[in-house]
Structure 1
Amino acid sequence: MKPLKPKEQKVVDEFESARPGLGAIAENNIRNNDKTGWADIIADTPDDELVAGEGSASNSFMYKRIG
């Protein structure tokens, strides 16, 4: 398995520092670039934008309640 490029490794490290275990998921997505496009996106992103941040997302789906 070839080593990650420095920018790719930075992304893995940022995900891992945000939450342990996410680094492995990020690395998997980078290595499966043909399906995910992650390596291409990272290559096109300026270094100073490759940082972990905090945020939230709302769920846009509505579920029927059972019971």
Structure 2
Amino acid sequence: MNNRPLTPKEQKVVNEFEAARPGTGAIAENNIRHNDKTGWADIIADTPENEIKVSEGTGSNSFIYKRLG
């Protein structure tokens, strides 16, 4: 596992997931640290920081859900 410190944007993603649903911050961190399989760190690096936030929306199935972005 990659034990490097998370970048400020990566830490913000972890914090936003945790705020949206407690327990999911650890899952997000795991996905960031396994970037070679998930691509999360690359996606986060390419995402403007002001777009990293919890928001609500609807999907095609009309259910309301929380998401990042």
TM-score, normalised relative to structure 2? 0.78
- The correspondence for 2:37, drawn from 32, 35, 46, is 35
Q: Once the two structures are aligned, what percentage of the paired residues are identical?
A: 72
Pairing 1:50–2:52 present: yes
Higher strand share: 2
Secondary structure (helix, strand or coil) at the match of 2:5 reads: coil
Deviations 1:16-55 (A, max 9, x none): 0000001000000000000000000000000100001123
Give the Cα–Cα distance (whole angstroms) in 2 for the partners of residues 18 and 56 of structure 1: 16
Give the Cα–Cα distance (whole angstroms) in 2 for the partners of residues 12 and 55 of structure 1: 20
Structure 2: 5+ residue stretches without partners: 62-69
- The correspondence for 2:27, drawn from 25, 28, 38, is 25
Aligned residues: 58
Secondary structure (helix, strand or coil) at the match of 1:55 reads: strand
Deviation above 3 Å: which 4+ runs of structure 1? Answer: none
Larger radius of gyration between Structure 1 and Structure 2: 1
Partner of 2:67: none
Q: For the aligned residues, what is the CA RMSD? A: 1.0
